[in-house]
Amino acid sequence: MSRIIKGLLCLVLVVSGLCGCQDSSEQQEDSLIIASATKGQYAKKMPYELSGARYWHGTAMSRFDAIEVEKGLERLVQEYFSTKEYLESAGLLLDASDVQMLQRRESEDYPYGLNPSLGTFAITDAISVESPYLIYDIAELNFYRAEEKEELAGIALAILMNSTVTTTQDGVETTITIPTERLYTVGSNAGRKLERYMRQLTGVDADCPIYIALYASGSANSSVPGVFIGEAYFTGRSGQFTTINEEWTLFPSDLAQSLDATLYSQFVSIKDSIHDFLPESVDMTGLGRFEDEQIRSLKITVNVQAKTYSEISALAQLLASLCDSLDTSQMDLSIEVKMFDQTYFTMVKNQGESTMSIHDMS
């Protein structure tokens, strides 16, 4: 009997044993959720339905947006929807036609269009452009109370905005970065209009809590994700936007050094140590997310050209030992060791944890 068939038989026996330990009501209850796998994640409502706007998102969002927007939205909204009390589902209220309408320019035909109407748009007191396209997508997540799985209990939305615009003057194409303060003004005005629109949808009552975040994407050639710049929580008609001070930076870089000189120095020291470990090329880079100039997450990627498993395994152990000393009281730390685009080891030390977990992916 093949190993695969044996494995499948074992799986069936295990599942049958588990089912035998549960009564029918427990089995039905478990089938209504996908339990969270890690701390800080929401359990997912079952059956899991796909968003009607998913194909639009797949076209409009960059590779950074597709992950960071909803991941960041989950992180931000936990202040209002506890992971212990709420289940999450994909956004099911806005379909593709809704999102396409919302990202149109405001006009008589499209009163809920979130982009500025046609005409001159002032980026700064000294710079104006004609009819920029700023808002390009709306991300959505829905929330349900664990004990009332069929009744919508909250909505989280993110308004995605371009942080740069391209204009042509005298035949010369120029890319202009929009100041965060200007984007925040545009986004907060659009957010209040979006909240009014959501109240008109079937299933959204006047008191349903609605959280809206403002996301400024990076430029087309950016090597870091965009950032959240504002947020508001609406209950009924009550809600006010406030700013978010978030920043991504690469390690090593001048910006990383200016934001956290101690962490920067530790990073460079670790990088030097692993460079000395193998004679072949070893490259180590980091991507850090700061909130209010405080590091909140650091993802380290190490690319190596090892000759044997023993070499790459020893390097991973050394790296884990060196990085375990990093202060993670305020940040999540993750490390990936790769060779020729294949991941061989991953390491994780979440905020507040004392030890690092190591996973051999080879």
> What average pLDDT does the structure give for the chain?
87
Phi/psi of residue 299, each to 5°?
-110, 120
pLDDT at 19: 40
What does the block give as tokens for 290?
Answer: 């700061």
Q: What is the side-by-side strand order in the sheet with 33-34? A: 33-34, 43-45, 86-90, 135-145, 148-161, 210-216, 227-234, 242-243
Q: Which candidate, 342, 331, 271, 334, places its Cα nearest to that of 306?
A: 342
Whole-number percent of the chain with pLDDT over 90: 62
Provide the pLDDT for residue 63.
75
pLDDT tops 70 at residue 16? no
Residue 184 sits at φ, ψ, to 5 deg, of: -60, -40
Mean pLDDT across the stretch 36-51?
84
The predicted pLDDT at position 163 comes to 92
pLDDT confidence of 93, banded at 50, 70, 90? very high
- State residue 27's pLDDT score: 41
Taking the CA atoms of 19, 46, 85 and 231 in sequence, report the sign of the dihedral they define: positive
d(CA 325, CA 266): 9
| Res 38: pLDDT | 77
Average pLDDT over residues 140-157: 91
- What per-residue confidence (pLDDT) applies to 319? 93
Q: Inform me whether the pLDDT recorded for 24 exceeds 50.
A: no
pLDDT classification of 10: cutoffs 50, 70, 90: very low
Q: Can you give the pLDDT at residue 51?
A: 83
Mean pLDDT over 79-104 rounds to 93
Q: In angstroms, how far is CA 332 from the centroid of its own chain?
A: 14
Tell me the pLDDT tens digit for each residue of 229-282.
Answer: 999 999 977 789 999 999 999 999 999 999 999 999 999 999 999 988 887 788
Task: Say yes or no to pLDDT of 23 above 50.
Answer: no
pLDDT in tens, 59-73: 777 777 888 999 999
Q: Report the SS3 class of residue 225.
A: coil
Question: What average pLDDT score do residues 108-118 get?
Answer: 94
Q: Which domains does the chain have, with CATH numbers?
A: 37-244 (3.10.570.10), 248-360 (3.30.300.190)
Question: What percent of the chain has pLDDT above 70?
Answer: 91
Given this model, what pLDDT does residue 310 score?
94
Quote the pTM value: 0.86
> What is the rounded distance in angstroms from the CA atom of residue 289 to the CA atom of residue 331?
9
Tokens of 291: 């909130």
Q: How far is CA 128 from CA 105, 109, 163, 188, 360, in A?
A: 17, 25, 15, 20, 54
Q: What is the pLDDT of residue 94?
A: 95
Split at pLDDT 50, 70, 90, the class of 301 is very high
Average confidence (pLDDT) over 180-184: 96
pLDDT in tens, 310-360: 999 999 999 999 998 888 999 999 999 999 989 999 999 988 888 889 999
